[in-house]
């Protein structure tokens, strides 16, 4: 790096020397009243004071206005924009956090509602089952008592029918004995005989 700088230094010295030589030539020409002579106008040192003066003047003017007015204003605008964007980003973050909270609350509420609904469904179902069961069992009890009373009635009717059969048989036997053998039989005696016979038969069966 230093080597390169030294080379550049040497080169710039060479250019400066050439400049001096040219300036001398130009000066010689201008003394002779020839302004448009050869050589670079850059090395006409007569113009240097003016150029440096005006450059310094404009530099000071620009520096002052830039540092006092323009740059603080632009910096201000950039800061404002940055804080504006940051504020909005922050607000968006807060809102999104809120939205997340609300979503969580919503999910919680949904879950709770689901639980409650299934509980209620369970309750109603259980109740229905119990009622169904009650109704069924009361129906069965009534049904069974009906059946048993009906059976009792049938048995009674059967018994009645059987005792009727005995008296009919005794009656027939009395009438048969009168007709066939001409014997007058006592109907109540006959009935006793029939009843004992049917009791015997029933016992044998």
Partner 1 sequence: MHQFQISPIIPIEVGGWDISFTNSSLWMLIGAVLSLVLLGVAASRKSIVPGRIQLIGEEIYGFVEDLITDNIGHKGREYFPLVFTMFMIIIMGGMLGMLPYSFTYTSHLAVTGALAFLVFFTVLMVGIARHGTHFLHLFIPPGVPGWLLPLVVLIEIVSFISRPITLSVRLFANMVAGHVLMKVVAGFGIMFATMGGLGWLGSLLPVIFNVAIIGFEFFIAFIQAYVFAVLTCIYLKDTVEIAH
Give me the least distance between CB of 48 and partner 1, in Å please: 4
Q: Which of residues 35-54 bind partner 1 (CB under 8 A)?
A: 36, 38-44, 46-54
Window of 65-73, 101-109, 130-138, 170-178 that interacts with partner 1 by CB under 8 A: 65-73
Nearer to partner 1, 4 or 161 (CB): 4
User: With binding defined as CB under 8 A, does residue 65 bind partner 1?
Assistant: yes
Nearer to partner 1, 53 or 139 (CB): 53
User: With binding defined as CB under 8 A, does residue 71 bind partner 1?
Assistant: yes
User: With binding defined as CB under 8 A, does residue 84 bind partner 1?
Assistant: yes
d(CA 21, CA 115): 103
Q: Are residues 170 and 194 in contact, defined by beta-carbon separation less than 8 angstroms?
A: yes
Q: Helices 71-180 & 187-204, crossing angle to 10 degrees?
A: 130
At 126, list the tokens: 């259980």
Nearer to partner 1, 16 or 128 (CB): 16
Nearer to partner 1, 4 or 204 (CB): 4
Location of structure tokens 């016992």: 203
User: With binding defined as CB under 8 A, does residue 19 bind partner 1?
Assistant: yes
d(CA 187, CA 183): 12
User: With binding defined as CB under 8 A, does residue 21 bind partner 1?
Assistant: no
Q: Is the dihedral of CA 111, 116, 122, 125 positive or negative?
A: negative
Q: Are residues 20 and 44 in contact, defined by beta-carbon separation less than 8 angstroms?
A: no
User: With binding defined as CB under 8 A, does residue 165 bind partner 1?
Assistant: no
Neighbouring residues of 200: CB distance < 8 A, sequence distance ≥ 6: none
d(CA 39, CA 169): 175
Q: Are residues 142 and 171 in contact, defined by beta-carbon separation less than 8 angstroms?
A: no
Kindly state the number of chain residues that form the binding site for partner 1, as judged by CB under 8 A: 51
Interface contacts to partner 1, rule CB under 8 A: 1-2, 5-6, 8-9, 11-13, 15-16, 19, 36, 38-44, 46-56, 58-59, 61-63, 65-67, 69-71, 73-78, 80-81, 84
């Amino acid at each position: 790096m230093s080597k390169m700088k030294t080379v550049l230094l040497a080169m710039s010295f060479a250019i400066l020397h050439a400049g001096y030589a040219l300036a001398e030539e130009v000066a010689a020409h201008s003394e002779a009243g020839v302004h448009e002579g050869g050589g670079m106008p850059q090395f006409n040192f007569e113009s240097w004071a003016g150029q440096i003066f005006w450059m310094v003047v404009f530099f000071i003017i620009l520096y002052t206005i830039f540092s006092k007015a323009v740059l603080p204003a632009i910096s201000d605008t950039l800061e404002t924009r940055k804080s504006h964007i940051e504020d909005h980003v922050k607000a968006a973050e807060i809102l999104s956090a809120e939205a997340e909270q609300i979503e969580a609350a919503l999910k919680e509420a949904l879950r709770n509602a689901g639980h409650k609904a299934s509980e209620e469904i369970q309750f109603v179902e259980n109740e229905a089952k119990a009622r169904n069961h009650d109704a069924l069992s009361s129906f069965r009890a009534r049904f069974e008592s009906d059946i048993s009373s009906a059976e009792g009635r049938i048995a009674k009717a059967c018994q009645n029918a059987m005792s009727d059969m005995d008296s009919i048989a005794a009656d027939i036997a009395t009438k048969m004995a009168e007709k066939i053998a001409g014997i007058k039989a006592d109907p109540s005696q006959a009935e006793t005989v029939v009843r004992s016979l049917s009791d015997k038969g029933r016992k044998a069966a």
